[in-house]
Amino acid sequence: MQVSRWGNSLAVRLPKALVDQLGLKEGDELNVVAAKDGVIEVETQDQRRRRALDRMAARNWTLPEGYRFDRDEANER
Protein backbone atom coordinates (compact mmCIF):
# COMPACT_ATOMS: atom_id res chain seq x y z
CA MET A 1 0.00 0.00 0.00
CA GLN A 2 1.16 3.49 -0.72
CA VAL A 3 0.90 6.30 1.82
CA SER A 4 -0.73 9.38 0.27
CA ARG A 5 -1.49 12.88 1.47
CA TRP A 6 -5.12 13.58 2.29
CA GLY A 7 -5.49 17.21 3.34
CA ASN A 8 -3.13 17.67 6.32
CA SER A 9 -3.13 13.92 7.06
CA LEU A 10 -1.64 10.83 5.54
CA ALA A 11 -3.79 7.94 4.32
CA VAL A 12 -3.55 4.47 2.85
CA ARG A 13 -5.99 2.72 0.56
CA LEU A 14 -6.97 -0.77 1.61
CA PRO A 15 -6.76 -3.48 -1.04
CA LYS A 16 -10.09 -5.04 -2.01
CA ALA A 17 -8.99 -8.46 -0.73
CA LEU A 18 -8.38 -6.99 2.75
CA VAL A 19 -11.66 -5.04 2.66
CA ASP A 20 -13.50 -8.25 1.77
CA GLN A 21 -11.66 -10.25 4.43
CA LEU A 22 -12.59 -7.71 7.13
CA GLY A 23 -16.13 -7.30 5.78
CA LEU A 24 -15.71 -3.52 5.61
CA LYS A 25 -18.05 -1.08 3.93
CA GLU A 26 -17.94 2.67 3.42
CA GLY A 27 -18.41 4.52 6.70
CA ASP A 28 -17.07 1.71 8.92
CA GLU A 29 -14.60 2.77 11.58
CA LEU A 30 -11.29 1.05 12.29
CA ASN A 31 -9.35 1.42 15.51
CA VAL A 32 -5.58 1.09 15.65
CA VAL A 33 -5.03 -1.26 18.58
CA ALA A 34 -1.28 -1.79 18.26
CA ALA A 35 1.62 -0.33 16.33
CA LYS A 36 5.14 -1.64 16.79
CA ASP A 37 8.13 -2.35 14.59
CA GLY A 38 6.35 -1.27 11.41
CA VAL A 39 3.29 -3.46 12.03
CA ILE A 40 -0.13 -1.90 12.60
CA GLU A 41 -2.97 -3.95 14.08
CA VAL A 42 -6.52 -2.72 13.58
CA GLU A 43 -9.96 -3.87 14.62
CA THR A 44 -13.46 -2.92 13.53
CA GLN A 45 -15.99 -1.37 15.90
CA ASP A 46 -17.89 -4.68 15.92
CA GLN A 47 -14.73 -6.57 16.86
CA ARG A 48 -14.04 -4.05 19.64
CA ARG A 49 -17.56 -4.42 21.02
CA ARG A 50 -17.35 -8.22 20.84
CA ARG A 51 -14.00 -8.15 22.67
CA ALA A 52 -15.47 -5.95 25.43
CA LEU A 53 -18.48 -8.26 25.83
CA ASP A 54 -16.18 -11.30 25.90
CA ARG A 55 -14.14 -9.68 28.71
CA MET A 56 -17.35 -9.03 30.64
CA ALA A 57 -18.51 -12.61 30.11
CA ALA A 58 -15.15 -13.92 31.34
CA ARG A 59 -15.82 -12.05 34.60
CA ASN A 60 -19.29 -13.62 34.84
CA TRP A 61 -20.98 -10.22 34.62
CA THR A 62 -24.61 -10.34 33.62
CA LEU A 63 -26.19 -7.80 31.32
CA PRO A 64 -29.71 -6.43 31.63
CA GLU A 65 -32.22 -7.93 29.22
CA GLY A 66 -32.15 -6.14 25.88
CA TYR A 67 -28.77 -4.50 26.64
CA ARG A 68 -27.03 -3.02 23.60
CA PHE A 69 -23.41 -1.91 23.71
CA ASP A 70 -23.33 1.36 21.79
CA ARG A 71 -20.89 3.99 23.06
CA ASP A 72 -22.05 6.60 20.56
CA GLU A 73 -25.68 6.23 21.64
CA ALA A 74 -24.73 6.29 25.33
CA ASN A 75 -22.81 9.56 24.84
CA GLU A 76 -25.47 11.38 22.80
CA ARG A 77 -26.61 14.62 24.41
Domains in the chain: boundaries: 3-74
pLDDT at 5: 94
Pick the CATH number of 3-74 from 1.10.10, 1.10.287, 3.10.105, 2.10.260: 2.10.260
What pLDDT score was predicted for residue 8?
Answer: 94
CB 33 within 8 A of CB 43: yes
Per residue of the chain (77 residues), give pLDDT as tens. 788 999 999 988 888 998 898 888 888 888 887 888 888 888 888 888 888 888 888 998 777 888 877 778 777 76
